[in-house]
Amino acid sequence: CTHDLWALANFSANALFALLRVGGSGIDIRSKARTVNGPITDASQLPKWNYDGSSTGQAPGEDSEVILYPQAIFKDPFRRGDNLLVMCDCYTPQGVPIPTNKRHNAAKIFNTPNVAAEETWYGIEQEYTLLQKDVNWPLGWPIGGYPGPQGPYYCAAGADKAFGRDIVDAHYKACLYAGINISGINGEVMPGQWEFQVGPSVGIAASDQLWVARYILERITEVAGVVLSLDPKPIPGDWNGAGAHTNYSTKSMREAGGYGVIKTAIEKLGKRHAQHIAAYGEGNERRLTGHHETADINTFKWGVADRGASIRVGRDTEKDGKGYFEDRRPASNMDPYVVTSMIAETTLLL
Ligand SMILES: *[C@@H]1O[C@H](CO)[C@@H](O)[C@H](O)[C@H]1NC(C)=O
Ligand SMILES: *[C@@H]1O[C@H](CO)[C@@H](O)[C@H](O)[C@H]1NC(C)=O
């Protein structure tokens, strides 16, 4: 019986790979499962695997194999037991990272001695919208109509204000089980919109964790028959968009004198504003309008406790003279490998 099989330490590893398609909701994580011999305590003990890249638009039909390199393991909250979720990145058979593999370059940046020595910490706030299947209209909204204006929904409770809490709480629990540093959840300003936070997590682990948390959310919404959208502005008009505010600090910023280091880092970010914006998610121009707690996409502005700034420094950081800052520009559909490594590159390597 199945129980004996697990006792022989045969268990499954669910290989995840992020495709990061342009357009659409910007999220596309595929997975397939295989049985392996355990125990496995580190991704490096797992074999490489492959998939048909011609079915995902990533390889030509005549040479279609894409190779999966296991990079990070998590406990599988769906199969439980000894089963694992494995975050993989993708290579050609010749060992070259394929174009949609953004992890490879990020790992290179995080392994640079200057960056590694600074022990970069990230806290990422992932906002997302739950949509009713088939009609692609937010959960809890009347089909073809609108709910009452924003105001009563943020962090709310009640059948007329909070839509999808069963999904949100199941996701929270599953992420904790998986070993993700999920630090909280809350209802957002737009009804049907929610947020979860990952972090603080170190270096590339923050992105591995965020991708796996997104995957878990996709699996739970699948069971619930609800569609997950990471679109940065799912409903046009006077409704809040969805972002992925990214808190960041280095060792020097967290130590005495850190506020000076923070100000220098922000100055460097300002000089590369256009490059960062270009890498911070598709459709972000629909969200960064200068309204709804955002800065205008073409303007770089920082401030203390300013939610209308591109970069926000917390009151505590100013008062303590050290701490961290928040990059409020990334869109909900950003690739954390790109965003976190680019912040490290701009502030530590340029
Ligand atoms: C980011 O920083 C803000 C304060 O500036 C804090 O309220 C929030 O919890 C932090 N989020 C994460 C994910 O670290
Ligand atoms: C998760 O958080 C713990 C405690 O704050 C920290 O020690 C650990 O490094 C974090 N994990 C990762 C992968 O960053």
Q: Where are the alpha helices (DSSP H) in the chain?
A: 2-7, 103-111, 113-117, 165-178, 205-224, 251-254, 258-271, 273-279, 315-320, 336-344
Q: Is the CB of 71 within 6 Å of ligand 2?
A: no
Q: Where in the chain is the domain with CATH 3.30.590.10?
A: 113-348
Q: Is the CB of 120 within 6 Å of ligand 2?
A: no
* Dist. CA 134 → ligand 2 center (Å): 39
Please report which ligand is nearest the Cα atom of 212.
2
- Report phi then psi at 332, rounded to 5: -60, -30
**Cα 253 from Cα 237, distance rounded (Å):** 38
Q: Is the CB of 147 within 6 Å of ligand 1?
A: no
* Dist. CA 280 → ligand 2 center (Å): 25
**Cα 123 from Cα 336, distance rounded (Å):** 11
Nearest to 121 by CA among 344, 347, 277, 350: 344
Tell me what pLDDT residue 22 has: 40
Question: Where is 18: in which H helix or E strand?
Answer: strand 10-18
Tell me what pLDDT residue 54 has: 80
Q: Extract the tokens encoding 327.
A: 């990059």
Please report which ligand is nearest the Cα atom of 87.
2
The number of C-alpha atoms within 13 Å of 236 and in the hemisphere containing its C-beta is: 3
Nearest to 194 by CA among 178, 182, 179: 182
Q: What CATH number labels 113-348? A: 3.30.590.10
Tell me what pLDDT residue 321 has: 97
* Dist. CA 124 → ligand 1 center (Å): 8
Q: What CATH number labels 2-101? A: 3.10.20.70
* Dist. CA 246 → ligand 1 center (Å): 8
Rg (the chain; Cα; Å): 21
**pLDDT per position in the chain (350 positions), as tens?**
333 333 333 456 666 666 554 444 446 788 888 888 878 899 999 999 888 888 777 776 677 888 999 999 999 999 898 889 999 998 999 999 988 889 999 999 999 999 999 999 999 999 999 999 999 899 999 999 999 999 999 999 999 999 999 999 999 999 999 999 999 999 999 999 999 999 999 999 999 999 999 999 999 999 999 999 999 999 999 999 999 999 999 999 999 999 999 999 999 999 999 999 999 999 999 999 988 888 899 999 999 988 899 999 999 999 999 999 999 999 999 999 999 999 999 999 99
Q: Is the CB of 205 within 6 Å of ligand 2?
A: yes
Q: Extract the tokens encoding 227.
A: 């569609």
Using alpha carbons only, give the angle 206, 210, 216 rounded to the nearest 5 degrees.
145
* Dist. CA 27 → ligand 1 center (Å): 23
Q: Is the CB of 12 within 6 Å of ligand 2?
A: no
Q: Which of 247, 253, 266, 320 to mutate to test the pocket of ligand 1 (most atoms within 8 A of CB)?
A: 247
Q: Where in the chain is the domain with CATH 3.10.20.70?
A: 2-101
**Cα 102 from Cα 17, distance rounded (Å):** 11
**Cα 341 from Cα 350, distance rounded (Å):** 13
Asked whether the beta carbons of 199 and 121 are under 8 A apart, the reply is: yes
Under 8 Å CB-to-CB from 297, ≥6 apart: which residues? 277, 284, 285, 288, 289
Nearest atom within ligand 2 for CA of residue 181 = 1
Tell me what pLDDT residue 82 has: 87
**Cα 214 from Cα 216, distance rounded (Å):** 5
Asked whether the beta carbons of 153 and 162 are under 8 A apart, the reply is: yes
Residue 210 φ/ψ region, left for φ over 0, alpha for ψ in the -120 to 50 degree band, beta for the rest: alpha
| pTM (two decimals) | 0.94
